[in-house]
Amino acid sequence: MAVTKKETVEEPKSLNEILSFIQSNFKTEKGRFNSFGKYKYRSAEDILEAIKPYLTKFNVTIRINEEIVSFDTVPIVLSTATISNGTDAIHATALVGVDLAQKGMQTPQAFGSASSYGKKYSLGNLLLIDDTQDSDATNSHGKNSSEHKPKLDGAALEKAKEYIKGGGNIDAITAKYEVSPVVLSQLR
């Protein structure tokens, strides 16, 4: 009779080992659906709900802190996800700009949206969640790639020439119009 050795897997002890175990084993589905963009996605709340069994199993906590780190031209929110065992802590961050000019959104909604993205991506960075096929990687957010900028010609070209003569920036024009190399040379 052959004796088989029972293979035992040692439980992680250090916070690094615990986090490594979680990063290697944690999975969460994209359980939400955006009917406008026709894609599935996961939210920070989905990630936090799915991670709870690991937190209990390893007696660790995850916290998310946010702070505004810049208010220059675009407010920037720094989101920090932290896993801790009460003694040690490991952090991961995400920076998200707040689009205050987002059509149809009031300021609190713009900050809330940025906050949600920051939480999701700091958690994703901490837990190594691959979002390459997530909506944020593949969604054009209603901007059809077949939509082109208008060509710079006619009256718009004359206005652009005046704008450049007055000290305007060519980059502002090329951001708004499709500019051929011939027209670009005329502007310079």
| 33-89 residue pLDDT tens | 888 888 888 899 999 999 999 999 999 999 999 999 988 888 999 999 999 999 999
pLDDT at 135: 46
> Which phi and psi angles does 15 have, rounded to 5°?
-60, -40
What is the distance between the terminal CA atoms of the chain, rounded to a whole angstrom?
89
pLDDT digits (tens, 9 = 90+) for 154-173: 777 887 787 777 777 777 77
The maximal CA–CA distance of the chain, rounded, in angstroms, is 95
pLDDT at 131: 65
Model confidence at 2: pLDDT above 70: no
Q: Are 183 and 156 in contact (CB under 8 A)?
A: no
Residue ranges of domains in the chain, CATH in brackets = 15-138 (3.30.390), 154-187 (no CATH)
Cα–Cα distance measured from residue 120 to residue 38, given in angstroms and rounded to the nearest whole number: 20
Q: What is the pTM of this model?
A: 0.64
Between the CA atoms of 28, 32, 36 and 37, what dihedral angle is there, to the nearest 10 degrees?
10
* Structure-block tokens of residue 96: 């998200």
The total number of residues written for the chain in this structure: 188
Average confidence (pLDDT) over 99-106: 88
pLDDT at 159: 79
Model confidence at 176: pLDDT above 50: yes
pLDDT at 148: 64
SS3 string of the chain?
CCCCCCCCCCCCCCHHHHHHHHHHHCCCCCCEEECCCCEEECCHHHHHHHHHHHHHHHCCEEEEEEEEEECCCCCEEEEEEEEECCCCEEEEEEEEECCCCCCCCCHHHHHHHHHHHHHHHHHHHHHCCCCCCCHHHHCCCCCCCCCCCCECCHHHHHHHHHHHHCCCCHHHHHHHCECCHHHHHHHC
100 or 174: whose pLDDT is higher? 100
pLDDT digits (tens, 9 = 90+) for 118-159: 999 999 999 999 765 544 544 545 554 445 677 887 777 887
